[in-house]
């Protein structure tokens, strides 16, 4: 009987799985029966953003945490698909840090070319899953959000690609209940325009805090205070931005910090990260992990230890994104079809433990980039995913981190070279700080919004 593969989620990871099978089909292989469920009406995952917060039009939790004026936070050269370059998609060189709509267009371009849309059931949410040990089959109950009808589908292999940056982690702070201003989580942030002239407090010290903070600066916030739990980010912030240790409590509009300082704020943004949540899976198949580069219990970061018919894509914290999801999907495909033989449970566990041990000893961000590079190398070496110069990409990550450290408001104006095509990015017509139109139309066609028209 033909293998039946179910995929839950059609974001970049789920699309990578579709593309992996399509690539095999184009090379003459028989491919399984594939069915992918996507709760939104279009694919793209986080990149298919929404103006909504809370619940979507079907009463489902809004998935995307992205917002207006979100520009790529890493160089596009670090995430380029090795089988579909930016040059191929845009037909000309572009800058290294495009806005969301441009990257969304790029993701879509590859899958539209591959004709894999036919495998996706849109507006269909996975509700419940069971696994029958005797038959080794998954039964997945899904709901068609247009008709509200539920159906069950039976699969031999199940791929979980629902992402892990959509269920907020929102800790309690003493007195926050009576804070008179706005309190929101980064997941519900849709744009910083309304923060013009306001005094803002971001709690958290990672990408969301940094980017929402600098978005707010760009849109004219009066001041930005970033409150960290473990360590400050330490960038060269603009003059209106400071880092403080953790908030101990709020008293009215005043936040008190653990170093004894205090400040009055108009709004608080909880940039405190996200939870891994898989409400459609039973607990024994559900990954529980903090946001780390190597979650435990997944062999090669992909195969569920206790049930090797179950796969997770994109479950780790991410330096690499689209190309890592590809490498994982190619690996998962080959495990599913038997092209890759899995070692015993004990050998798989030993391999996981080696990675976890190495992860625990990572001294800094450069080492983290190398760690994920080595992880990707193992996956790519095991499959026919088109190889690319991983050491060069690791160096790009390090250059990018150095640029960020030197100039948090200017790193997106830097240029990087593609390791896939060798093409050097072109300077964008507008410096990021001045770019107030993030549409693809403006990005591709200008005109510049720099006062000097981009001349310098």
Interface residue list for ligand FAD (CB under 6 A): 8-14, 37-40, 45-47, 63, 65-66, 72-74, 79, 125-126, 161-163, 165-166, 280, 314, 318, 321
Give which of ligand NA0, ligand FAD, none residue 314 binds (C-beta under 5 to 8 Å, depending on kind).
Answer: ligand FAD
Q: How far apart are CA 343 and CA 220, in angstroms?
A: 56
Q: Residues in contact with ligand NA0, total (CB under 6 A)?
A: 22
Closer residue to ligand FAD in complex, CB, 24/62: 62
Q: Would you say 32 or 74 has its CB closer to ligand FAD?
A: 74
203 binds ligand NA0 (CB under 6 A): yes
211 binds ligand NA0 (CB under 6 A): yes
* Residue among 110, 146, 106, 145 nearest 126 (CA): 145
| Run of H or E including 15 | helix 12-26
Minimum CB separation from ligand NA0 for residue 189, in Å?
9
What, of ligand FAD, ligand NA0, none, does residue 12 touch, CB below 5 to 8 Å by kind?
ligand FAD
Instruction: Specify the residue, 32 or 75, whose C-beta has the smaller distance to ligand FAD.
Output: 75
- Residue 445 CB, shortest distance to ligand FAD, in Å, is 22
Q: Residue 200 is inside which H or E element, if any?
A: strand 199-203
Element (H, E) at 249: strand 247-251
Q: How far is the CB of 257 from ligand NA0 (least distance, A)?
A: 12
**C-alpha 175: how far from chain center:** 32
Contact residue for ligand NA0 among 148, 230, 283, 456 (CB under 6 A): 230
Nearer to ligand NA0, 9 or 204 (CB): 204
Contact present, 137 and 131 (Cβ < 8 Å):
yes
182, exposed or middle or buried, with CB in 10 Å at 0-12, 13-18, 19+?
middle
Site string for ligand NA0, 303-342 (x = CB under 6 A): ---------------x------------------------
Site for ligand NA0 in 136-165 (CB under 6 A): 165
Rule CB under 6 A: which of 25-44 touch ligand NA0? none
Shortest spacing between CB 301 and ligand FAD, in angstroms: 12
| Cβ 273 to ligand NA0 shortest distance, Å | 3
The two three-digit tokens of residue 403, written as one number: 């640029």
By C-beta, is 165 or 257 nearer to ligand FAD? 165
Provide the minimum distance between the beta carbon of 56 and ligand NA0 in the complex, in angstroms, as a whole number. Answer: 20
CB crowding 62-97: b at 16 or more within 10 Å, else e: bbbbbbbbbbbebbbbbbbbbbbbbbebeeebbbbb
Angle at which helices 100-114 and 12-26 cross, to 10°: 30
Reading phi first (left if > 0) and then psi (alpha if -120 to 50, else beta), residue 99 is in beta
In the range 48-77, which residues lie near ligand NA0 by CB under 6 A? 70, 72-73
Closest approach of Cβ 296 to ligand NA0, in Å?
A: 17
Contacts of 44 (CB under 8 A, 6+ apart): 10, 11, 12, 15, 104, 107, 108
DSSP per-residue codes, 351-395: HHHHHHHHHHT--SHHHHHHHHHHHHHHHHHHS-SPP--HHHHHH
Q: Which is nearer to ligand FAD, 105 or 257 (CB)?
A: 105
Q: ω before 447 within 30° of 0 (cis)? A: yes
Q: Which is nearer to ligand NA0, 35 or 369 (CB)?
A: 369
Between 140 and 183, whose beta carbon lies closer to ligand FAD?
A: 140
Spatial distance between the Cα atoms of 137 and 134, rounded to a whole number of angstroms: 8
CB of 85 to ligand FAD, least distance (A): 16
Quick check: 369 binds ligand NA0 (CB under 6 A)?
no
Which tokens sit at 211?
């980017």
Which CB atom, from 73 or from 434, has the smaller least distance to ligand FAD? 73
How many other C-beta atoms are found inside a 10 Å radius of the C-beta of residue 133? Answer: 7
Q: Are 3 and 157 in contact (CB under 8 A)?
A: yes
Q: Which of 288, 287, 303, 301 is nearest to 345 (CA)?
A: 303
- Site map 286..305 versus ligand NA0, x via CB under 6 A: -----x--------------
Residues that bind ligand NA0 (CB under 6 A): 70, 72-73, 165, 169, 171, 186, 203-208, 211, 229-230, 246, 271-273, 291, 318
């Amino acid at each position: 009987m033909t293998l039946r593969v179910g995929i839950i989620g059609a974001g970049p990871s789920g699309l990578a799985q579709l593309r992996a099978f399509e690539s095999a089909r184009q090379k003459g292989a028989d491919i399984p029966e594939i069915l992918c469920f996507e709760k939104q009406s279009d694919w793209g995952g986080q990149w298919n953003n929404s103006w909504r917060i809370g619940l979507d039009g079907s009463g489902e939790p809004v998935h995307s945490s992205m917002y207006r004026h979100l520009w790529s936070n890493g160089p596009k050269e670090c995430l380029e698909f090795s089988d579909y370059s930016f040059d191929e998609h845009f037909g000309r060189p572009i800058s290294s840090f495009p806005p969301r709509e441009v990257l969304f267009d790029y993701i879509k371009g590859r899958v539209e070319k591959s004709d894999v849309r036919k495998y996706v059931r849109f507006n269909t949410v996975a509700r419940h899953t069971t696994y029958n040990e005797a038959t080794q089959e998954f039964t997945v109950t899904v709901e068609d959000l247009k008709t509200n009808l539920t159906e069950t589908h039976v699969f031999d292999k199940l791929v979980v690609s629902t992402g892990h940056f959509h269920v907020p982690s929102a800790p309690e702070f003493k007195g926050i209940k009576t804070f008179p201003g706005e309190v929101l989580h980064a997941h519900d942030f849709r744009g910083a325009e309304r923060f013009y002239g306001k005094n803002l407090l971001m709690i958290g010290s990672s990408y969301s805090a940094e980017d929402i903070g600098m978005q707010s600066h760009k849109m004219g916030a009066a001041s930005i205070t970033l409150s960290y739990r473990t360590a400050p980010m330490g960038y060269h912030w603009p003059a209106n931005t400071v880092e403080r240790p953790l908030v101990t409590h709020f008293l009215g509009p005043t936040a008190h910090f653990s170093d004894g300082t205090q400040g009055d704020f108009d709004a608080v943004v909880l940039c405190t990260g996200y939870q891994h949540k898989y409400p459609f899976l039973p607990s024994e198949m559900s990954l529980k992990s903090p946001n780390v580069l190597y979650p435990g219990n997944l062999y090669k970061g992909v195969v569920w230890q206790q049930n090797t018919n179950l796969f997770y894509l994109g479950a780790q914290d991410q330096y690499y994104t689209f190309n890592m999801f590809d490498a994982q999907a190619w690996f998962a495909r080959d495990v599913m079809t038997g092209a890759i033989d899995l070692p015993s449970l004990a050998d798989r566990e030993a391999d996981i433990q080696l990675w976890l041990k190495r992860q625990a000893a990572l001294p800094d961000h450069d080492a983290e980039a190398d760690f994920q590079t080595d992880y990707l190398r193992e996956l790519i070496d095991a499959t026919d995913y088109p190889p690319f110069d991983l050491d060069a990409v690791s160096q790009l990550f390090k250059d990018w981190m150095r640029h960020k450290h030197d100039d948090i408001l200017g790193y997106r104006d830097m240029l990087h070279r593609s390791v896939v095509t060798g093409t050097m990015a072109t300077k964008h017509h507008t410096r990021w700080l001045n770019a107030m139109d993030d549409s693809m139309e403006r990005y591709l066609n200008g005109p510049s919004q720099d006062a000097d028209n981009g001349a310098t």
